[in-house]
């Protein structure tokens, strides 16, 4: 079938030549080959995030005993790591899935950004506000699930009462509106992007592109899929350069957030004399 409106002439060969640049592809394949080794020490680092006496995590947790900030951060980072490890496992075996791998990267980047968003504010009140907002948002999702299964509990009402009591402890958070909409992930990732230095795609760029795959927007597939034929059949495989462009910001985000968590779970260094 012909389109109703005459399409523009696109130099597909020139575009593919750019995407399949030999030098860039070699770099991408090297990064992908090294990814399983990159993930190896992360499991141990993630296990060591329990707050230490005198740490900022310990101090922040005192303000919010239910769903404390340190547990939110470690939960998000463990989720991000689990998704990264799934990508790593695929790379060590038959190779990453052509489309589903981007959904895994998106989840890892999103969880890492939320963890950073909880830790980055410089004041206790700002961190507490973010922590309460995330707790409320997550509880709303859980309550929606409970209602679908007709699970009759009073946890939801108690949770709102608990978060209300939590915010009321401090003058700087007492006026919080718990019914206010949660910030968009776009704004959260954009704000945390500004705290980092980028040499390629920013976190928000990668998250948006990976969201296209997660939502089955096949207009994204044209750039990342390559056709491979054996003369009898045609199969799609992942284009290394595009995958590298999404993988590197995701790795950076996880390292950035994990580094913040490691810093804040430990007591501050002694002041210089």
pLDDT of 10-69, one tens digit each?
666 666 667 778 888 999 999 999 999 999 999 999 999 999 999 999 999 999 999 999
Q: 162 is written with which tokens?
A: 């608990």
What pLDDT was estimated at residue 226?
A: 65
What pLDDT was estimated at residue 191?
A: 97
The CA distances from residue 128 to 59, 85, 124, in Å, are: 11, 30, 6
Burial 108-130, CB ≥16 within 10 A → b, else e? bbbbbbbbbbbbbeeebbebbbb
Question: What does R_g of the chain's alpha carbons equal in angstroms?
Answer: 22
Given a contact cutoff of 8 angstroms between Cβ atoms, the answer to whether 163 and 156 are in contact is: no
What pLDDT was estimated at residue 92?
A: 85
What pLDDT was estimated at residue 98?
A: 77
What pLDDT was estimated at residue 194?
A: 97
Q: Decide: helix, strand or coil at residue 202.
A: coil
What pLDDT was estimated at residue 269?
A: 79
**Residue spans per domain, the chain:** 52-264
Residues of the chain with pLDDT under 50: none
Degrees to nearest 5, angle at CA 60 with 59 and 62: 70
Task: Determine whether 33 is exposed, middle or buried from the number of CB atoms within 10 Å of its CB (0-12, 13-18, 19+).
Answer: exposed
The CA distances from residue 145 to 138, 139, 142, 153, in Å, are: 11, 10, 5, 12
């Amino acid at each position: 079938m012909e389109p109703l409106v005459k399409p523009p002439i696109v130099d597909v060969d020139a575009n593919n030549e750019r995407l399949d640049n030999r030098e860039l592809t070699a770099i991408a394949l090297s990064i992908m080959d090294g990814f399983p080794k990159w993930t190896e020490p992360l499991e141990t680092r993630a296990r060591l995030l329990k707050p230490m006496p005198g740490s900022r995590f310990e101090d922040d947790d005192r303000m919010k005993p239910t769903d404390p900030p340190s547990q939110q951060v470690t939960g998000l980072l463990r989720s991000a790591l689990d998704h990264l490890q799934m990508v790593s496992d695929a790379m060590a075996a038959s190779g990453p899935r052509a489309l589903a791998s981007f959904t895994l990267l998106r989840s890892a980047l999103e969880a890492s950004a939320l963890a950073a968003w909880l830790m980055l504010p410089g004041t206790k009140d700002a961190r507490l506000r973010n922590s309460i907002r995330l707790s409320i948002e997550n509880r709303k999702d859980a309550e929606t699930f409970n209602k679908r299964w007709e699970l009759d509990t009073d946890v939801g009402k108690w949770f709102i009462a608990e978060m209300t009591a939590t915010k009321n402890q401090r003058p700087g958070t007492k006026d919080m509106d718990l019914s206010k909409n949660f910030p968009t992930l776009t704004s959260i990732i954009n704000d945390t992007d500004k705290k980092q230095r980028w040499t390629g795609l920013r976190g928000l760029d990668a998250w948006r592109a990976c969201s296209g795959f997660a939502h089955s927007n096949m207009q994204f597939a044209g750039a990342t899929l390559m056709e491979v034929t054996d003369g009898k059949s045609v199969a799609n495989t992942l284009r290394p350069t595009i995958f590298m462009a999404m993988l590197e910001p995701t790795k950076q985000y996880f390292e950035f957030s994990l580094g913040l968590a490691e810093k804040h779970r430990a007591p501050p260094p002694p002041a210089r004399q």
